[in-house]
């Protein structure tokens, strides 16, 4: 039995297979519409989410399966003091596969150790968000035809943004990837990513504070929101929340084929005037998220 805790749980060739399957689903969704008949997905979300939880649920329904779960810790037995380990043992009796989001880093990993069904990490604190990374990679691969030879800019909250941490981990396995990190001083990438992931693997990276100073060099721009819920101090959040606003003027400095990605939700960091730009693919990303989660459910349930 396999779980998904980190994007690195799959080799790059396993990811290729997963993305091929997702693309096949995109082309011919009908072929897959009953394959999960009689199967149940549990979504256990101890932290708010709209996109990720509904994306999982939509994926399971599109495969002909059913869904049960909870969408916040207060409405689950966690509020009575039940441990994640006990919850997953119970869920294992009710469902065939489970997606867990939790504010504590490592909680889905603890759950997977006690589970008799596949567990998917749907985001753990500021740590990892592997299915968002699968979504990001499928979007890039589908729109650019490759996952190598890119200069990618990651902009915003690089300290707390788990989608950023997962994406960096995943992209370093592809050839000729160069990172440009754009953040205020207070929200730079954590030292463990800098030292253990980038420097250890000799991955080239540069750091900027101003987006205008580097946007023209980018093939991909990954915008992120400032992660309010991970701040200890509201004043600090307010000071930093509008540090970056991608607008038409900045887009005019970018390459004609640069893609703009964002895991969403967006707050102010991308002006709505950018939404109509052909380079803005963040809503397409949402659709790819459903295809890749469908492919993941089929793979973990070994239904193909």
Residues involved in catalysis: 51-52, 80, 101, 129
Enumerate residues 6+ apart whose C-beta is below 8 A from 146. Answer: none
Total residues in contact with ligand NCD, by rule CB under 6 A: 10
Q: Determine if 52 is a binding residue for ligand NCD (CB under 6 A).
A: yes
Starting from the edge strand earliest in sequence, which strands make up the sheet with 150-155, in order?
Answer: 205-208, 177-182, 150-155, 220-223, 259-261
For residue 224, the minimal CB distance to ligand NCD (Å) is 6
Distance of alpha carbon 131 from alpha carbon 107, whole angstroms: 16
Dig out the tokens for 95 from the structure. Answer: 């469902």
Enumerate residues 6+ apart whose C-beta is below 8 A from 28. Answer: none
Strand-pairing partners, residue 283, are none
For residue 213, the minimal CB distance to ligand NCD (Å) is 24
User: If 0-12 CB within 10 Å is exposed, 13-18 middle and 19+ buried, where does residue 195 land?
Assistant: exposed
The torsion angles phi and psi of 183, rounded to 5 degrees, stand at -160, 160
Distance of alpha carbon 77 from alpha carbon 25, whole angstroms: 36
Extract the runs of DSSP E, i.e. beta strands, from 109-264: 119-124, 150-155, 177-182, 205-208, 220-223, 259-261
Q: Residue 21 in contact with residue 298, Cβ under 8 Å?
A: yes
Residue of 6, 43, 121, 163 that binds ligand NCD (CB under 6 A): 163
Distance of alpha carbon 229 from alpha carbon 232, whole angstroms: 8
Q: Determine if 162 is a binding residue for ligand NCD (CB under 6 A).
A: yes
Q: Determine if 153 is a binding residue for ligand NCD (CB under 6 A).
A: no
Residue whose CB is less far from ligand NCD, 32 or 160: 160
Residue whose CB is less far from ligand NCD, 143 or 253: 143
Contact track, ligand NCD, 2-31, x by CB under 6 A:
------------------------------
Distance of alpha carbon 139 from alpha carbon 261, whole angstroms: 9
Residue whose CB is less far from ligand NCD, 32 or 132: 132
Q: Determine if 154 is a binding residue for ligand NCD (CB under 6 A).
A: no
Q: Name which of residues 230 to 289 contact ligand NCD (CB under 6 A).
A: 263-264
Q: Determine if 102 is a binding residue for ligand NCD (CB under 6 A).
A: no
For residue 116, the minimal CB distance to ligand NCD (Å) is 27
Residue whose CB is less far from ligand NCD, 3 or 225: 225
Closest by CA to 120, choosing from 42, 23, 34, 227, is: 42
Q: Name which of residues 187 to 226 contact ligand NCD (CB under 6 A).
A: 225
For residue 151, the minimal CB distance to ligand NCD (Å) is 22
For residue 93, the minimal CB distance to ligand NCD (Å) is 28
Q: Name which of residues 121 to 140 contact ligand NCD (CB under 6 A).
A: 123, 129, 132
- Binding-site ranges for ligand NCD (CB under 6 A): 51-52, 123, 129, 132, 162-163, 225, 263-264
């Amino acid at each position: 039995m396999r779980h998904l805790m980190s994007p690195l749980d799959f080799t790059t060739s396993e990811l290729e297979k997963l993305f091929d399957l997702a693309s096949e689903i995109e082309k011919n969704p009908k072929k897959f519409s009953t394959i999960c008949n009689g199967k149940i997905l549990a979504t256990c979300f101890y932290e708010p989410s709209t996109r990720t939880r509904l994306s999982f649920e939509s994926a399971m329904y599109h495969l002909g399966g059913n869904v049960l779960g909870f969408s916040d810790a207060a409405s689950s037995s966690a509020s009575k003091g039940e441990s994640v380990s006990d919850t997953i043992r119970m869920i294992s009796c009710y469902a065939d596969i489970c997606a867990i989001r939790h504010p504590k880093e490592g909680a889905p990993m603890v759950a997977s150790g006690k589970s008799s069904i596949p567990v998917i990490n749907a985001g753990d604190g500021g740590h990892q968000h592997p299915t968002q990374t699968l979504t990001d990679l499928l979007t890039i691969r589908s729109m650019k035809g490759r996952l190598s030879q890119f200069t990618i800019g990651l902009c915003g909250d690089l300290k707390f943004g788990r989608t950023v941490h997962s994406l960096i981990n995943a992209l370093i396995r592809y050839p000729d990837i160069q990172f440009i990190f754009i953040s205020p001083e207070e929200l730079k990438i954590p030292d463990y990513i800098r030292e253990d992931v980038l420097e250890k693997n000799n991955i080239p990276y540069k750091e900027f504070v101003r987006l205008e100073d580097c946007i023209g060099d980018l093939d991909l721009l990954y915008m992120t929101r400032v992660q309010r819920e991970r701040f200890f101090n509201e004043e600090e959040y307010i000071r930093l929340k509008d540090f970056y606003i991608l607008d038409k003027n900045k887009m005019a400095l970018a390459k004609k084929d640069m893609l703009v990605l964002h895991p969403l939700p967006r707050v102010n960091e991308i002006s709505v005037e950018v939404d109509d730009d052909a380079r803005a693919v963040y809503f397409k990303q949402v659709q790819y998220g459903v295809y890749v989660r469908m492919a993941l459910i089929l793979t973990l349930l070994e239904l193909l």
